[in-house]
Amino acid sequence: MFDAALFYLRPHVIITDPMNIYVCVKHVPDSAATIRIVEPNQIDENITFLLNPYDENAVEAAVQLKADSDDTDVIAVTVGKPAAIDTLKSALAMGADRGIHVVTGYWPDSIVTARALQAAIIKDGLPDLILTGKAAIDSDGYQTQFRLAAALDIPVATHVGSIARNDNSVTVTCGLEAGGEQVIRMRMPCVIGTAKTLNTPRYPTLPDIIKARKKEIREVSIDHLAIEPPDSRMEIIALKSAVQKRRKQMIAGSIEESVTELIRRLKGEARIPLS
């Protein structure tokens, strides 16, 4: 089954080895860290940052595809501040062959990020496949992969739970709401946004980490890329801590009465659809 919103007919493209797989990764705050707002629209960055969890699945998928091909190059690409190089090192330790760091002095929005990724990838070589996570856990915008695909004029599918390569195309399974799935075939090159259900990312061993130190990371300033300034942009005006309002309630009675009352409250007050 094909979805017109996600499937685009492209001219026939001959994909031959060597194959270039670019993996777009993001440097994000650890979700387990204590986030402290220090300015109206900034957080205290003296916390642990890591490779975006959804991007780990993208890196793992690229490394697995590399294992199935005789001559494949996996290139991790990130856009961010100087500290984002640590995220590239994590991707290299997982099995990426080399990295590209588009260095910025700020955290760009999805519009600028997509344009920077496009420019960096095109400058490096011709992509056969571009993998990203379906979203970043900090902004949760779900936009970058679509903007990148639009900039490159290639197909895109997201929330992908399986990937099968067939010569010059890939067949992917995309998760839908209410547990549904959609199977899409796209000609390569294309962009794929990976879901957590796609695979289990490997845990780098000490030898992997040591080996990664010798792998190439090319740094380029975003100002040195030929990026057309966007007509519009997104800006974070203010950040606010999430506040959960909770109140304790006691339910008296027998076990049967308590369970019945709990179900009633979950359905009526919490509006949880229990069967």
Mean pLDDT of the chain: 86
What pLDDT, on a 0 to 100 scale, did the predictor assign at position 275?
62
Mean pLDDT of the 38-54 span: 84
When mean pLDDT is compared across 23-37, 90-104, 131-145, 233-247, the lowest value belongs to 233-247
Q: Would the pTM count as exceeding 0.85?
A: no
Mean pLDDT of the 9-13 span: 37
Pick the CATH number of 19-224 from 3.40.50.620, 3.40.50.720, 1.10.10.60, 1.25.40.10: 3.40.50.620
- Answer yes or no: is pLDDT of 133 > 60: yes
Q: What is the pLDDT of residues 25-38, one digit of tens each?
A: 999 988 888 778 88
Domain coordinates in residue numbering, the chain: 19-224, 244-275
d(CA 55, CA 22): 12
- Answer yes or no: is pLDDT of 8 > 70: no
